[in-house]
Structure formats: structure tokens, C-alpha cells
Amino acid sequence: MHPNPVFRRAPRARNIAFARERAFGVLTLAGPDGPLAAHVPFVLTEDGSWWEAHLARSNPILRALDTRRPALVIVSGPEGYVSPDWYGLPDQVPTWNYVAVHLRGWLELLDDAALPPHAARLSAQFERRLAPKPAWTDDKMDAEALTRMRRMIRPIGMRVETIEGTWKLNQNKPETARQAAAMQVGRAGIGTETAALAALMKDPPATE
């Protein structure tokens, strides 16, 4: 996480809400031969205390989980390049603005019995976003096909111990300079989701 505390003052609730809305991140932990990572959709409880996902049974992370292990989930948001010309101030340098939330805790394998309710929660949270489309549910699948597909994955869970967010949005600049840069970021489109990044730069999270 960025060391400047001005970028790390978003309330815990805002960090949780951000992670829950993205619901996709990079799960990382130390393996026997080096770092391991997997890109996964996930479910995070409203209070941010419990994270759950699933992995293909062939994933090396599952083989490393012979016991509970410390893990990190990285949830990234909008990001993009900021030119020093955009501040309207002298003696500035280029930078990259971004939003990221880190979830840390102890990762563990879950019993296979936990897979059906987990899968239902995972699909339901995304299907709700597609309303008014009727929500997909697994009862639309042939029972044998569903059982066969479930055999290929394993549920995992993490008791979240810490949640840290970096909202690097030029809060260390004067208000007029930040707003000027935000306007240009929205126009330039260098990075991903720069319109969303520009909106956040104009109105960063309130501090606790």
C-alpha cells in the first residue's frame, strides 16, 4: 500500500463497500516454490469479516493449503496516468492514480458441502445487477451436469483480519489542481476506467 497516509484515510466501511462492489480480485499466498496467485470472483460479507471463493481443483493454491495459511486478496479499481501539465502548478512530476483495497487473513479449505450455498451466493450477487433480467439459478441446469461441474472446483474461505485501502487521487495537491487534473484524466483515457477515476479525483472518500 502507498506509504503516504493522506491516501489511506478512507473509512473502513468505504473500503469494504468498494471490495464488495468489485467482487473480483487477486488471491495471493506463499507457496512451497514461491508466490502463488489466482484471479477470482468472490463474496465478502457486509461487515468485511468473511471472504469466500472457489478454485479449480488443479489450482496450485489448493495443493498448498494443507493447513490454514496467511493470504492476501488484492482488489484493484480505476487507475490512470496523470500528467504534471494538468495541475497548473510549477515543478510537478508524472504520477499514476489508482484505488486498491487489500484484504488479509487466514485462508482455508472448506468442506465440499459448502460449495452449493457459496456458488448460489456468488451468482446471485452478480445476477442482481442484471435486473430486470430474471436471475439465473442452478436449478436451470441438468442435475448430473451440475454435479459433474461441481466436482471440478473446491470452496475456500478466509477470516479477514485487516482491510487496508489506498485511494491515490491527488489529495496531496491543492483542490484547484486536483480538480483540473481530474478533468483532464476524464478526457485523456490513459489507463482503465478513467471516467470513474476522474469522478473519484473530484470527490475523494471522506476521512474517518
H helix or E strand, kind and range, residue 121: helix 115-127
Give 145-182 pLDDT, tens digit per residue.
Answer: 999 999 999 999 999 999 999 999 999 999 999 999 99
Rounded to the nearest angstrom, the gap between the alpha carbon of residue 123 and the centroid of all alpha carbons in its chain is 17
Domain containing 180 equals: 5-200
> Residue 205: inside a domain, yes or no?
no
What mean pLDDT do residues 67-86 have? 95
CATH number of the domain within which 128 lies:
2.30.110.10
Write the CA distances from 47 to 13, 16, 108, 125, integer angstroms: 8, 7, 19, 16
Give 2-58 pLDDT, tens digit per residue.
Answer: 899 999 999 999 999 999 999 999 999 999 899 999 999 999 999 999 999 999 999
Q: How many domains does the chain have?
A: 1
Q: How far apart are CA 185 and CA 41, in angstroms?
A: 28
> Residue 206: inside a domain, yes or no?
no
Q: How far apart are CA 142 and CA 133, in angstroms?
A: 21
Q: Which pLDDT value is given to residue 60?
A: 95
Q: What is the 3-state secondary structure (H, E, C) of 40-71?
A: EECEECCCCCEEEEEEECCCHHHHHCCCCEEE
> Residue 192: inside a domain, yes or no?
yes
> Residue 133: inside a domain, yes or no?
yes
Lowest mean pLDDT among 64-68, 71-75, 126-130, 156-160: 64-68
Burial of residue 161, with CB atoms counted within 10 A of its CB: 0-12 exposed, 13-18 middle, 19 or more buried: exposed
Q: Provide the whole-model pTM.
A: 0.92
Q: Which pLDDT value is given to residue 66?
A: 85
> Residue 208: inside a domain, yes or no?
no
Mean of pLDDT over the chain: 95
Residue 188 has pLDDT above 90, yes or no: no
Confidence of residue 208 (pLDDT cuts 50, 70, 90): low
